[in-house]
Amino acid sequence: MKAAVLKRPKNLALMDLPRPRCPPGGALIRVEACAVCGTDIKMLDQGHRDLCYPRILGHEVVGRIEEIDRKVQADGRQLRAGELVQVWPGIACGHCHACFRGADNRCRDMKIIGFNIDGGFAEYLALPLPAQSFSEHFGISTALNRLPEEVDPALFTLAEPLACCINGQEQARVGEGDTVLIWGGGPIGALHALLAEMRGAGEILLAERLPGRIREIKRHTSARVIGWFSGNREEGQDPFEEAERTILSETDGRGVDVILTATPEVKIDQRQMRLLAPGGRICIFSGPQPGDYEGMIDLRSMHYLEQTITGAYGCSSRQNRMAASLLESGGIRANWIITKRADLARISDAFEHSSRRAGLKSVVCAV
The Cα-based distances of 190 to 60, 164, 238, 359 in angstroms read: 17, 13, 26, 12
Distance of CA 170 to the CA centre of its chain: 14
Phi, psi of 338 (to 5 degrees): -80, 110
Contact map string, positions 77 to 106, toward Zn ion, x by CB under 5 A? ---------------xx--x--x-------
Query: From the CB of 323, what's the least distance to Zn ion, in Å?
Result: 12
- Closer to Zn ion by CB, 37 or 258: give it: 37
Element (H, E) at 304: helix 299-305
Contact map string, positions 37 to 76, toward Zn ion, x by CB under 5 A? x---------------------------------------
Q: How many Å apart are CA 106 and CA 100, to the nearest integer?
A: 11
Q: Where are the alpha helices (DSSP H) in the chain?
A: 38-46, 97-100, 153-156, 159-171, 187-198, 211-220, 241-250, 270-273, 299-305, 317-329, 347-356
- Closer to Zn ion by CB, 96 or 214: give it: 96
Query: From the CB of 114, what's the least distance to Zn ion, in Å?
Result: 8
- Closer to Zn ion by CB, 99 or 262: give it: 99
Quick check: 31 binds Zn ion (CB under 5 A)?
no
Helix (H, G, I), strand (E, B) or coil at 307: coil
Query: From the CB of 314, what's the least distance to Zn ion, in Å?
Result: 8
- Closer to Zn ion by CB, 112 or 342: give it: 112
Distance of CA 221 to the CA centre of its chain: 18
Among 161, 169, 92, smallest CA distance to 323 is for 161
Contact map string, positions 188 to 207, toward Zn ion, x by CB under 5 A? --------------------
Phi, psi of 254 (to 5 degrees): -75, -35
Contact map string, positions 267 to 306, toward Zn ion, x by CB under 5 A? ----------------------------------------
- Closer to Zn ion by CB, 99 or 207: give it: 99
Touching Zn ion, residues 101-160 (CB under 5 A): 107
Among 166, 214, 124, 171, smallest CA distance to 308 is for 171
- Closer to Zn ion by CB, 111 or 254: give it: 111
Binding site for Zn ion (CB under 5 A): 37, 92-93, 96, 99, 107
